Structures are given as structure tokens and as C-alpha cells.
Amino acid sequence: MNPNYELCPGEVAYNFGFMDEHAKREVRRAILKAIAIPGYQTPYASREMPMGRGFGTGGLQLTLSIIGPLDRLKVIDQGADDSVNAVNLRRFIEMTCPGVTTTETTREATLIQSRHRIPEHPLGEDQVLVLQVPYPDPLVLVEPSERRRKVMHAEGDYSRLLTKLYEDIVHFDEITIAHRYPTRIAGHYVIDPSPIPRFDVPKLHRSRALILLGAGRERKIYAVPPYTDAVPLAFEDVPFRVEQFLDENGNRRPCARCGATESYLDECLDAAGAKVYQCSDSHWCNERYGSWIEGRGLEQNP
Amino acid sequence: MNKILEVAGLSKIYGGGCPLCAATTGSEWDTNICPHCGSVVAALAVDLELHEGEILGIMGESGSGKSTLVKLLYFDEAPTGGTATYFEDGRPQDLFALNAAQQRRLRNQRFGMVYQNPHLGLNFNLSAGGNIAERLLMTDLAHYGQIRDRARELLSRTEVMLERMDESPRRFSGGMQQRVQIAKALAPHPSLLLLDEVTTGLDLSVQARILDLILEIQHELHTAMIVVTHDLGVIRLLAGRTLVMKHGRVIETGLTDQILEDPQHAYTQRLVAANL
Amino acid sequence: MPPVLQVEGLTKEFLLHEQGERIPSCTGVFLEAWAGCLTALVGPTGAGKSSVLKCIYRTYLPTAGRILYRDRAGQVLDIARATEQQALRLRRGEIGFVTQFLHCLPRRSAVEVVAEPLVARGVDRGTAWSSAGEMLARLGVPERLWSVPPATFSGGEKQRVNLARGLLGRPRLLLLDEPTASLDPAATERAVAVIQSMKAEGMAMLAVFHHPDLVSRLADQVAELVPSLAGKEREAS
């Protein structure tokens, strides 16, 4: 874009939050409805955003509709504050929401927008987490017709989904769903919790923070309200398991950078081409690494 | 024996119908299609009764309306007239006045249906055991081990090789596919089983085996059944009572041996005499 | 003691629509059956003996007349006017029929076929099968055949299976349609012995025998059927 381009007087400044107030109000109404019916996929009129679908327009519309100038915003993508998508979204929001502060520190944020991860730091009652969702409906795996899926949700009939889990156990001795694990909210609706790993699913259960999920392309908003039951689908005798990150000897791998043994790890290749495991949550890692450095009286090396 | 199903005046007309449909279709006119409006009178004013543990045969040729009847009872289609009352533990339920969720509950937990075409009754993208698991998962069962055991039990009862339980029914023989369907239909312990031409098209020895299986199941479980067929041999073997249908109407009903040896109606006499 | 069965003026006529004909089968039949007695139906071929049995068993729908049956509870029912459900109830526990033909269920062994009426009544399989075996033994069916499906049996063996099943059910009234027609003299003797012992137990029987000798040995009563006039005319012309 030409930085010297002169906008017409009425177009010089964006409305706060880029979307007009009516659009924001409509989204907030959808949010309220979603909170009132936990897990229900609330349809809304998803606006065109200045980025392609599939880049987080759903999560973005949620954030822009509820953000205020006093908010402190954190944006992460796959756990990292500094990945390309997170950086672009954060810049966009800074540009269109003057006055808003941004932060990498999870504890300080009032509003967190995330793609595919829930931060390691436990969230509090004064925080809102917005998750970006590609496909909101877990039943899309087993039923192509939207009309029939709606009936199945309404009647709480998830037998076909459970059958898929059964077939997994038959063929692979375990349920093979790695992310987007179907989770039942408040005892009725089963949601697709977005492509967060299994590791993060337990964080939905009775979370202190409000969790909102937005699918821009699919035009749906849903919510896991605070202190709400979120139970991943499983069988009584084949319980839900999370990633263990065990090495060949059965020991829990630590983060190669900060030594943490309780966080979700990304598998990377180092310069020499060897496999290295590192915290996915960059802030968590930085904090741990920072104290690790301090403990040794060294300089922080990001 | 207690009544389990009572059907009165059940009708299904495809295409809107007109006041002349009933009078200008049927046996004497030798057609189901109304000459005035073109509607298809698939079934008209059908009455029948079914008692606990009994097998009722519905016999007829193509266009008789026999398959339409079971489709209506299984909620695959909605009737255009008449009622059907199902007695659940003695309590009458007006089937077509129930809402969709109530109908689905009966369909999933109280009724079973075996189709002539296994593609209608089975999901070929699931294993044989998976098909049965699907039915069990519609009830409150949430224990993988128990589901597996019950599926094994049902498949071995219907003589499906247990080694093939985890395969898709795609590669099964026609007879085995039908047996998987029967196992699936029996999964929720239904009190009413509907069988629509289940052995038509199968080799004779295979047919005999399946018919025998159905009889054994009826002996053991006392499930009430409606057996739809055009084959007199199947009727003779399975049904205690029989309904004969033609062009959507019930022509005659009676005890099976009476229908076969002392048919009263002209059409029934022709049908019985034509049995090769 | 009142009769178990009283048939009054039973008439059966077949209406063949296609041929536009009325075929008389039996006309104006009167007979009675008592507990512990065997009533034999005699008469020339075409007189309608089998038809009478079938009307009583309600395989045929009578054209006219009454078939008054007194059940175990002492209730009298006119079978000619009975509903399907009433007929089924009688067949379940009151009236048995040994027909000339055995409709073979494909994979049932002989002992299973014979035991069937007991199993249907709730008797446990083991007991039912051993009773069935006993009855087959009494009728001289060799034990090696008991576990074989009757489809491959000879006519005489099939008939004994049929007879065994009918007798084992211990109905109040047993209808027998030429039960020894395919049996050799030795087997016939055994059948006669069993029938006599059943009679002694109090079973009422109505039977058609092909051999007059059996009639004289087993029948306490004889009912003679006369072919209907219409039938006679046809024979004459």
C-alpha cells in the first residue's frame, strides 16, 4: 500500500475495531446466545475482513467486537507470539484499535486470541480466550448433510461419531484423533474445540475464563462458558488420554531450551538436523528460560 | 396373546391424490395409478393386527403395497391417511402422531428393519461389528468392551464368522450381508422386527439357512415379526397368519395354512395355484 | 361326560372363481368325539374325510354347520365361527393334527422337530428332547436318525416323526389323517400300541385310516361319510 495515499476525509480513520458498531453489536448478540446455549453453533453474518478466509477471520471478528481501548491483548499462533500470523493479526488490531495495549505475558492479558493452542498459564475469571476455528461441526466427519447434522445435534444423537471412535479402537487399539477432539459441553452439545491438541482439551473443563470459538468461513460462533463441564468423548473402559511426550526409556522429555516437563512440546529439527523438542507456548518457555538464565547469572538470549 | 400393533385404514398415495383415486384404482382396474390425476395409490385403507411373538406374513406381487406398508411402519415414509398404534408395554402409542424425536426413539430402540438391499440397512464404510456398535451406541451403552461383546454375541447368533467382524461387509456374500443386517436389527432387543424380502435374490440354500435362523430367533426371543415376501414358500415356513395384498389393497387375511389350502378370494386362489 | 367335540351339519364347499365352479367336499356331517375314545371317519374317496379334519383344525373355513369344541376349562366354542386368535389358541394347546405330509424345516433334526410343541410351551430343551427321543423309540425310529434332519427320510420315517410330534404335544383332541399309510406291518403295530396308550391316558381322537382292519382295532366309534349328491352325479356322468 502507498503510504502517501490520501484517503477521503470520511475514510481517514477506521471505526474503532475496524467493524462498524452495528456489525459488532450483532456479533456480541451471537456471543450472548452462544454463552446461553453452551456448545451450540450460533450462526452469524460473518463479515468480509481484509484477509483471506482461513487466516482467522472468525476469531478476529470476535476479538474486534468485544475489544475496548482499555484491553490488553495477546495474540498467539501455535503457542507463539512471534509467528507470522500472530504478528499480522496483532499489528492489524493495534492499527484499528488505538489505545489498546498488547502483551506477550499471558497473566497480564485481558483478551487472548489464539490459533490452535490454549496457553499453558491457567486463565482467570477476568480473561477471555478467543479460539480460531476452521470447521465448527464435529459431525462433519460422519454426515455430509447440514440439515441432518442439525437434527443430530438437537437430539444429542452422536452415535455415528462414537462409532467412528469404536472403529478406531478396533483398528488401532486407540482413538486416533490427535486434535479437534470432540468434546461434550454441559452434557449436551458436542463441539469441535478447534485444532487444539488433546493436551489442551482438559483446560476447557470448568475453565475460569470465558472461551469463545469463531469460524469466519463457516459463519458460526460457539462458547464454553466459565465453570462449564467439557468432557471429551470416550468409552467408560477406554478413557481419554493426552500426549505423554515420553522418550524410548519411558521418561518424560523436557523442553530442550528451558527444561520444562509439564508443557506441550513441538517437535523441531535443529541446525544439525536432529530432532529437538521445545515448548510450544513461547511465553511459557521464555519465562522458564529467563529464570534458567538468571539462575546461572547469564544474559537473556532470545 | 397381547396385541402389539394395530393398523387401521393406513394409506399412502404419492402425488397429491384426487377424489377419484380410490374408486378407479385397485384389483378390478388392475392398476395403482389413478387415470384422472396420475397419483400412485401405493397402499389404501390397510387394516392389520399383530400380536406379541407372532409372525405375520404379507404376501403380494410387485405393486401390491407390501413394501410401502413396512416403510410407513418404520417411519421411512409418512402415510397420507390412517393410523397405526403400537403397544409399548401395554401403553398405546399413535405412531404417526408422535414427534420426530419420539419416532426416532421407537425406530432405534423398539423396532428393527431388515431390507432386501443390504446397502439400505448397513453402512459399508463401517466394519460389520461397527454397524452393530452404531445401533448400540444409540442407546445408553458407553462401554467399549460391552459393545464388543454384544456385537460378537449377535454376529455369532446370526452365524457370521467372527474373524470377519472387523471387516467391512463390502466383501461378504449376499447371505452374510443379510445376516449382519439381522444381527444389527436385533441389537436393541426390538419388540417388532420388519423383514422386507430379505431372502429374495439369494441362492436357495442360503435362503433356507436365513429363514431357519429367523425361526430360531423367533423361538428364542419371541420377537413379533412382519415378513414381507412374494414367495409362498417363505410364507408357509415362517408366517402363522398372512395378509394378501394387491394393488395397494388387502385382498384377504387368515391363518397361513388356511390361505394356502382354502383361499377364498379369486386372486388368492390364482396366486396359490401359480406356485410352481 | 360331555363330548370333547360335537360336529353338527358340517358342510364344506369350494368356490373356484377362475373356473366358476362349486366343488362340494363334505356335506351335512354329524359326529362326536369323547375323551379316551377314538372316532374313526370312514367312507369312500371323495367323501370328504380329510376335509372334515381340516375344518376342525380350521385349515378349511366351513361353508355351513357347527363345530362345537369343549376346551380343558369346560368352555364351548364354535370353531366354524372362531376368530383367527381363538383358532391359534386352540392349536397351541388343545387340538393337534397329524397330517399326511411333514413340512420339513431345513436344518431341524428329527428330535428337534418332535420336541417342538413342548419347547414352544416352555419346557426346557433337555427334557423336551429326551421325551421326544422316547416317543421316537416307541415308534421304532432308530436312534441314529434322531439327530438327522427328516428331509432325507423315507416316507415311513417321516410319517413316524409326524406322528411322534403330534402325540408328544398331548393335545386334548388329536386329529389323525391316515397316520400309518406308509408304515410297514411292524411299524404299524408300534404305532397302534402308542395310539392305544394315548387313548388310555384320556386323549380324544378323530382318525381317518386307510385300512379297515385298523378301524376295527382302534375305533370306539365310527362315523360314516357319504359323498355329496353333486359329487355322485359327477361320478355317474
pLDDT tens string B215-257: 888 888 889 999 999 999 899 989 999 999 999 999 999 999 9
Asked if residue B43 belongs to a domain, the reply is yes
Same domain, B271 and B215: yes
All 3 cell numbers of residue A19? 467493524
Is pLDDT of C174 > 80?
Answer: yes
Domains of chain A: 21-232 (3.40.50.11310), 244-296 (no CATH)
Residue B141 contacts A where some CB pair is shorter than 8 Å: no
Q: What is the model's pLDDT at position C119?
A: 85
CB contact under 8 A, A160 and B134: yes
The residues, ordered by sequence, that sit 6+ positions from C53 with a Cβ below 8 Å of its Cβ are C41, C97, C175, C176, C177, C206, C208
**C236 confidence band (pLDDT: 50, 70, 90):** very low
- Averaged pLDDT for residues C184-209: 93
- Averaged pLDDT for residues A103-109: 96
Asked if residue B200 belongs to a domain, the reply is yes
Do chains C and B have 3 or more beta-carbon pairs under 8 angstroms? yes
CA distance B245 to B247: 7
Asked if residue B22 belongs to a domain, the reply is yes
Do chains C and A have 3 or more beta-carbon pairs under 8 angstroms? no
Task: Share the mean pLDDT of chain B.
Answer: 93
Same domain, B30 and B106: yes
- Averaged pLDDT for residues A215-230: 97
Phi, psi of A213, rounded to the nearest 5 degrees: -125, 130
The residue segments making up the domain with residue B211 are 3-110+190-275
- Averaged pLDDT for residues B159-163: 93
Residue of B nearest to C117 (CA): B219
Question: Who among C15, C18, C103 is closest to B270 (CB)?
Answer: C18
Same domain, B98 and B225: yes
- Averaged pLDDT for residues B2-26: 92
Q: Which one is predicted more confidently, A302 or A298?
A: A298
Q: What is the model's pLDDT at position C58?
A: 95
Same domain, B94 and B209: yes
CA distance B103 to B101: 5
Asked if residue B137 belongs to a domain, the reply is yes
Is pLDDT of C215 > 70?
Answer: yes
- Alpha-helical (H) ranges within B38-79 are 66-73
Q: Which one is predicted more confidently, A296 or C232?
A: A296
Residue A147 contacts B where some CB pair is shorter than 8 Å: no
The CATH number of residue B44's host domain is 3.40.50.300
Same domain, B86 and B141: no
Helix (H, G, I), strand (E, B) or coil at A1: coil
Same domain, B104 and B198: yes
Asked if residue B115 belongs to a domain, the reply is no
Beta sheet of C21-33, edge-to-edge order: C21-33, C5-16, C64-70, C76-78
Residues B133/A166, Cβ–Cβ less than 8 Å: yes
Per-residue pLDDT tens over the stretch C2-44: 999 999 999 999 999 988 999 999 988 999 999 999 999 998 8
Is pLDDT of C230 > 50?
Answer: no
Is pLDDT of C103 > 90?
Answer: no
Asked if residue B132 belongs to a domain, the reply is yes
Task: Share the mean pLDDT of chain A.
Answer: 93
User: What does the DSSP 8-state code read for residue B263?
Assistant: -
B-chain CB neighbours of C60 within 8 Å are 258, 261-262
Beta carbon pairs, B and C, within 8 Å? 53
Q: What is the model's pLDDT at position A299?
A: 62
Same domain, B154 and B169: yes
Q: What is the model's pLDDT at position C19?
A: 87
Do chains A and B have 3 or more beta-carbon pairs under 8 angstroms? yes
* Rounded to 5°, angle at Cα A257 from A253 and A261: 35
Per the listing, cell 470465558 goes with A210
B-chain CB neighbours of C150 within 8 Å are none
High-pLDDT (> 90) share of chain C, %: 66
All 3 cell numbers of residue C193? 400300541
Same domain, B102 and B128: no
Per-residue pLDDT tens over the stretch A1-44: 788 888 777 677 789 999 999 999 999 999 999 999 999 999 99
Same domain, B106 and B45: yes
**A301 confidence band (pLDDT: 50, 70, 90):** low
Q: Which of B189, B213, B241 is the last residue of a domain?
A: B189
Q: What is the model's pLDDT at position C210?
A: 82
Q: Is A279 a catalytic residue?
A: yes
B-chain CB neighbours of C15 within 8 Å are 264
Asked if residue B228 belongs to a domain, the reply is yes
**Distance in Å, alpha carbon of B98 to nearest chain A alpha carbon:** 15
> Domain total for chain B?
2
User: What does the DSSP 8-state code read for residue A291?
Assistant: H
All 3 cell numbers of residue A276? 529437538
Residues A229/A186, Cβ–Cβ less than 8 Å: yes
Residues A185/A191, Cβ–Cβ less than 8 Å: yes
Residue C122, judged by CB atoms within 10 A of its CB (0-12, 13-18, 19+), counts as exposed
**Distance in Å, alpha carbon of A179 to nearest chain B alpha carbon:** 22
**C232 confidence band (pLDDT: 50, 70, 90):** very low
Same domain, B165 and B223: no
- Averaged pLDDT for residues B118-130: 95
CA distance A63 to A77: 15
Closest CA to C108 of B213, B239, B53, B154: B213
**C229 confidence band (pLDDT: 50, 70, 90):** low
Residue A170 contacts B where some CB pair is shorter than 8 Å: yes
Same domain, B185 and B196: no
Distance of CA B39 to CAs B30, B45, B73, B204, Å?
Answer: 15, 16, 21, 37
**Distance in Å, alpha carbon of B99 to nearest chain A alpha carbon:** 12
**B153 confidence band (pLDDT: 50, 70, 90):** very high
Asked if residue B181 belongs to a domain, the reply is yes
CA distance A272 to B1: 82
What ipTM was estimated for this complex? Answer: 0.87
The residues, ordered by sequence, that sit 6+ positions from A84 with a Cβ below 8 Å of its Cβ are A77
- Averaged pLDDT for residues B70-91: 95
Query: What predicted TM-score, i.e. pTM, was given to this entire model?
Result: 0.86
Q: Which of B133, B164, B189 is the last residue of a domain?
A: B189
Same domain, B91 and B125: no
Q: Which of B173, B189, B205 is the last residue of a domain?
A: B189
